[in-house]
Amino acid sequence: MRIIGATTERGQVEEVSTARERLAELQELKVLVRYNQANTKSRVTELREQIAALDNQRRSAIEYLDAMQQLMDRLSREELELQAKLEEEPDLTSPEMQRALAKLKEIHGVDQNTGDILNYKPYQLQAIIFILDRHFRPRKTKGAIEGDDTGLGKTAIVAGLLQLMENEEQFQGASN
Amino acid sequence: MDVLWLTKQSLTKTSSQECKSWGFTMFPVLGTSPQKCGTFDLLASFDQPLHITTNYESVNNKDFFNRLRSRKWGVIVIDEVHKLKGGANSTPTTVWRNTADLLIEQVTVHGCFPVFMTGSIVNNKLEEIWAYLHPLDPERFPSLRHFQRTFGRKNWVTGVLEIDQDRLLGLLAPNMIRRGKDEVGEQLPPKNYMPDEWITLDPKDEITELYMDLQRKAFIGVKKDLDSMDDDATLSIGNVIQRIHYLRTALVAPGTFRFNEYSIDDETGERSVSFIERKMTFKPPYPKLDAVFEKVCELRDQGENVIVYSAQYNRPLEYLYDLFTACGHSCDKIVGGSDTSAVQRRFQQNETQILLINMRTGAEGLNLHRCDRWPGGASHVVFIDSWWNPESERQAEDRTWRIGTNRPVFIHRVHVEGTIDELMIAIKNHKKKIASGIADAEELRVGDWKDLLKKFI
């Protein structure tokens, strides 16, 4: 019985020792796994941060591209508008316009200090030149609309305009 | 070079005179149609270019119209071209049709150069622009429908077709010059809107009782309609406008007032379909006109000259004219048939100090401001009543606020509490709210009318 008992005790001691070794191994493994876990987590966080940073960079790049595109569009539009405006600008160098302006100066006189045509304010002169130019160089739609605000002297502008148009017609008649 | 200048009848003479003062002679062709034809023939018989100014309606006379068509006009000027809006009506007016025919023929066949003048591109609705763009360029603006289709932009919230102004302005830009006073660098003295003066009707006055009774009856049917109305229901706006017109007349036009009265069922409160023509006599005192009289006298005591506008009625002007004259004030008036040019000259020369004007005749084309060129003119304007359209009132105000004005301008308005004046102000304010970049007013839509009336009634 003792032998048996002793064998059994020895066997139990061995078992316990094996179990302890196994436990130690497991604990080591656990530490290792925990370490790996922590390591992987920080790596994931790091990668996520990198992704976010790259995403921000991507967005900024897209926004920049959009802004550039808009700028290009605006520049192209402005270029077109300026071209159109240049085409619409009255041609002050044409002989008929030169004659008209000389006639206006002859009728109304010139301010010796400023060089302005007397009786007509600069904006009125601008309107006369605008409409005269439409007469001398007709656009697709013929004619002109004097749509200035009330009280800016539309009648005076048109009266001056008619004088110059008649003068030009007389000149053309005489030269023919 | 032959020049034809079309303008309002009341401005035929003044426009010619102004042209002459700027060195270009225009002959006014006035009078009845045979007289106009006679003047035309006489002027045409001279071996000189023909420069004539005449009124828009002249084209309605066949003989005169044929004479106009027989010439080769170098330039046709149309003053206040927004008046040529009759083409946007469902049935275009004869004046518009004939003017359009004349212009199109002269431009396409004889190479005439048209010049349009206007201080307010549009008065009511944007479609009216088409009425004068069509004769200017029938190829680009062939029909009103085409215009709406081309420049229309559906507002998906309201379901209304709106005009694409940017596109339209872009197309007109090569032919149109349009600047405001601030844009041209002209520093005019300020235009000041004085606080509106509100007066109350004395309940003891007979006129108060008569007016309030009329106002109560006028909107009985409308109130019932509005209460039962859902959002899609339609409202007879013509009917409402007629009632508003009655009340406006009753408030400012003294004497006998005629109107259609509908009987009211005592039990149901409903209006009868048929009506009887009634007349009501308003006897003095006239609270509103008396308040205007006092306001003008107060200004005169301060040495100020004053212009008084009535939106469309002559009777209040006649009443005030008699009152001012009896009090020793030197007074003049511009109503239909007045010699506008002579009245303008007298006011400019300070021969008269009070000028009473019917807005329909004298809101445009007159120079009545204080300036260095003449001793008279006014810097105070008093409105007796309101017109539907703020743009027309602005035109009237600006007779005193023009280039050369050397004193601040003051605008006064007199209203009566609890009357149709309140609704008229609400309508005008609403029109101002929906003001757009190209114009200062747009037509009121049915829904707007409902909202405004619900608040008033």
pLDDT digits (tens, 9 = 90+) for A141-150: 889 999 988 8
Which residues lie across from A73 on neighbouring strands? none
A95 and A84 housed in the same domain: no
Q: Using DSSP, state whether B82 is helix, strand or coil.
A: helix
Nearest to A143 among B15, B18, B114 (CB): B114
pLDDT in tens, B340-369: 889 999 999 999 999 999 998 888 888 999
CB B432 within 8 A of CB B392: no
**Nearest-by-Cβ selection for A162 from B24, B174, B394:** B24
* Total residue length of chain B: 457
Q: Which residues of A touch B (CB under 8 A)?
A: 88, 107-108, 119, 121, 123, 126-127, 130-131, 134-135, 139-156, 158-163, 165-166, 169
Q: Which backbone phi and psi does A122 adopt, to 5 degrees? A: -55, -40
Q: What pLDDT is stored for residue B225 in this prediction?
A: 65
Whether residue B183 lies inside any domain: the answer is no
Q: Is B74 in the same domain as B91?
A: yes
> B434 pLDDT exceeds 60?
no
Helix (H) or strand (E) holding B53: strand B51-55
End-to-end CA distance of chain A, in Å? 153
Name chain A contacts of B119, Cβ cutoff 8 Å: 147-151, 154
Assess whether pLDDT exceeds 80 at residue B423: yes
Residues A54 and A7 in one domain: yes
- For residue A128, pLDDT over 60 is answered with yes
Question: Which of chain A's residues have a Cβ under 8 Å away from the Cβ of B172?
Answer: 145
Cis peptide leading into residue B34 (ω within 30°): no
Q: Is residue B146 part of a domain?
A: yes
- Check residue A1 and give its pLDDT: 47
Number of H helices, E strands in chain A: 4, 1
Residues A68 and A137 in one domain: no
Please tell me whether residue A7 adopts helix, strand or coil conformation. Answer: helix
- In contact, B23 and B116? CB cutoff 8 Å: no
Distance separating alpha carbons of residues B20 and A159, to the nearest angstrom: 8
Q: Which of A58, A89, A120 is the last residue of a domain?
A: A89
Show Cβ contacts of residue B15 under 8 Å, excluding neighbours closer than 6 positions: A155, B5, B7, B26, B28, B53, B79, B365
Residues of B in contact with A142 (CB under 8 A): 107, 113-114, 136-137
> Average pLDDT over chain A, rounded to whole?
86
Tell whether B242 and B312 lie within a shared domain. no
For residues A85 and A132, membership in a common domain is answered with no
What the block records as the tokens of A141 is: 């739609």
- The last residue of one of the domains, among A22, A54, A89, is A89
Task: Give pLDDT, residue B172.
Answer: 83
Q: In this complex, which of B115, B137, B401 lies closest to A141 when CB atoms are compared?
A: B137
Q: Is residue B439 part of a domain?
A: yes
Residue B185 in any domain: the answer is no
CA distance A97 to chain B (A): 17
Binning pLDDT at 50, 70 and 90, where does residue B442 land? very low
Helices (H), B302-419: 315-326, 340-348, 359-362, 390-397
Pick B75's closest partner by Cβ from A145, A150, A162: A162
Q: Do A150 and B398 touch (CB under 8 A)?
A: yes
- Residue B380 · residue B305 · CB < 8 Å: yes
pLDDT at B160: 64
Of A121, A147, A155, nearest to B19 by CB-CB distance is A155
pLDDT at A73: 82
- pLDDT of amino acid B37: 94
Which one, of A87, A103, A45, A66, lies nearest residue B23 by Cα? A103
Angstrom distance (rounded) from CA B422 to CA B57: 36
Q: Is the pLDDT of residue B89 over 50?
A: yes
Instruction: Assess whether B394 and B249 both reside in one domain.
Output: no
CB contacts of B79 in chain A (<8 Å) are 155
| pLDDT tier for residue B229 given thresholds of 50, 70 and 90 | low
Residue count of chain A, please give it: 176
Residue B30 lies inside a defined structural domain of this protein: yes
Contacts of B392 by beta carbon, 8 Å cutoff, 6+ apart: B123, B359, B363
Q: What is the pLDDT of residue B100?
A: 94
Residue ranges making up the domain that contains A146: 91-175
Same domain? A100 vs A84? no
Is residue B275 domain-shared with residue B390, that is, in the same domain?
Answer: no
DSSP codes joined into one string, A165-176? HHHHHHHHHHH-
State how far the Cα of B165 lies from the Cα of B125, in Å rounded to an integer.
12
User: Is residue B17 included in any domain, yes or no?
Assistant: yes
Q: Which residues of chain B are within 8 Å of residue A127 when distances are taken between CB atoms?
A: 177
Give the separation between CA A172 and CA A164, rounded to whole angstroms.
12
- Cα four-point dihedral sign B431, B435, B439, B440: positive
Contacts of B75 in chain A (CB under 8 A): 162, 165
Q: Retrieve residue A20's tokens.
A: 């302890």
Q: Does A95 share its domain with A56?
A: no
Count: domains in chain B = 3
Domain co-membership, B127 together with B72: yes
Place of tokens 């507002």: B155
Considering the domain architecture, whether residues B303 and B365 belong to the same structural domain is answered as yes
Asked whether residue B13 falls in the same domain as residue B118, the answer is: yes
- What pLDDT, on a 0 to 100 scale, did the predictor assign at position B441? 36
Note whether A95 and A116 are same-domain residues: yes
Please report the ipTM that was assigned to this predicted complex.
Answer: 0.75
Supply A97's token pair.
């316009």
pLDDT for A80 beyond 60? yes
Written as six digits, the tokens of B115 are 């010049």
H/E segment holding residue B421: helix B420-433
Residues of chain A contacting residue B180, judged by C-beta atoms under 8 Å apart: 149
CB contact under 8 A, B120 and A150: yes
What is the rounded average pLDDT of the residues B119-132? 76
For B237, the domain range is 206-284+420-456
Q: How far is it, in rounded angstroms, from Cα B381 to Cα B412?
A: 6
| Of the candidates A103, A161, A106, A174, the residue with the CA atom closest to the CA atom of residue A135 | A161
Q: Two tokens at B444?
A: 């009121």
pLDDT at B373: 87
CATH of the domain at B141: 3.40.50.10810
Residue B224: φ, ψ to 5°: -65, -45
Domain assignment of residue B279, yes or no = yes
- C-alpha–C-alpha distance, residues A125 and A153, integer Å: 11
Tell me how close the Cα of B284 comes to any Cα of chain A, in angstroms: 38
A48 min Cα distance to partner chain B (Å): 45
Same structural domain, B19 and B131:
yes
Asked if residue B140 and residue B7 are part of one domain, the reply reads yes
- How far is residue B124's CA from residue A7's CA, in Å, rounded to a whole number? 118
Angle at B84 between CA B83 and CA B87, to 5 degrees: 135
Shared domain for A98 and A159, answered yes or no, is yes
Model pLDDT for residues B319-335, shown as the tens digit of each residue = 999 999 999 999 999 99
Structure tokens at B242: 């007629």
Pair B379, B328 in one domain: yes
Residue B137 forms contact with A (CB below 8 Å): yes
Q: Given this model, what pLDDT does residue B147 score?
A: 86
Crossing angle between the packed helical segments A154-175 and A95-108, to the nearest 10 degrees = 120
How confident is the model at residue A110, as a pLDDT? Answer: 81
* pLDDT at A69 (0 to 100): 87
Residues A52 and A81 in one domain: yes
> Does B439 have pLDDT greater than 50?
no
Residue with tokens 């190209």: B438
Q: Are residues A14 and A35 in the same domain?
A: yes
Domain boundary among A57, A89, A121: A89
Are B34 and B73 in the same domain?
yes
Average pLDDT score, chain B: 84
Say how many domains are in chain A. Answer: 2
Q: What are phi and psi of A116, to 5 degrees?
A: -75, 155
Q: What is the largest CA-CA distance in chain B?
A: 79
The values of phi and psi at residue B66, to 5°, are -65, -35
Higher pLDDT, B432 or B137: B137
- Asked if the Cβ–Cβ distance from A169 to B74 is below 8 Å, we say yes
Question: Is 90 exceeded by the pLDDT of residue B128?
Answer: no
Q: Does B368 touch chain A (CB under 8 A)?
A: no
DSSP, res B380: E
Token pair of B3 as six digits:
């020049």
Q: Say which DSSP state B192 is in.
A: E
Residue entry with tokens 């027989």: B70
Beta bridge partners of B354: B306, B331
Please report which confidence band the pLDDT of residue B231 belongs to, taking 50, 70 and 90 as the band edges: low
d(Cα B395, Cα B82) in Å, to the nearest integer? Answer: 12
What integer pLDDT is reported at residue A10 of this predicted model?
A: 81
Q: Which residues contact B397 (CB under 8 A, 6 or more apart)?
A: B191, B381, B409, B411
Residues A125 and A154 in one domain: yes
Percent of chain B whose predicted confidence (pLDDT) is above 90: 40
- Contact criterion met (CB below 8 Å) for B425 and B386: yes
CA angle B454, B445, B143 (to 5 degrees): 165
* One domain, residues B279 and B294: no
Pairwise CA distance, residues B192 & B189, whole Å: 9
Confidence of residue B159 (pLDDT cuts 50, 70, 90): low
Residue B69 has pLDDT above 90, yes or no: yes
A21/A69 same-domain check: yes
Residues in A closer than 8 angstroms to B131, CB to CB, are none
Rounded average pLDDT over B153-181: 76
The pair of structure tokens assigned to B279 is 């007349």
* DSSP output for B229-273: --TT----HHHHHHHHHHHHHHHH--EEEEEEEEEE-TTT-PEEE
Q: Do B115 and A143 touch (CB under 8 A)?
A: yes
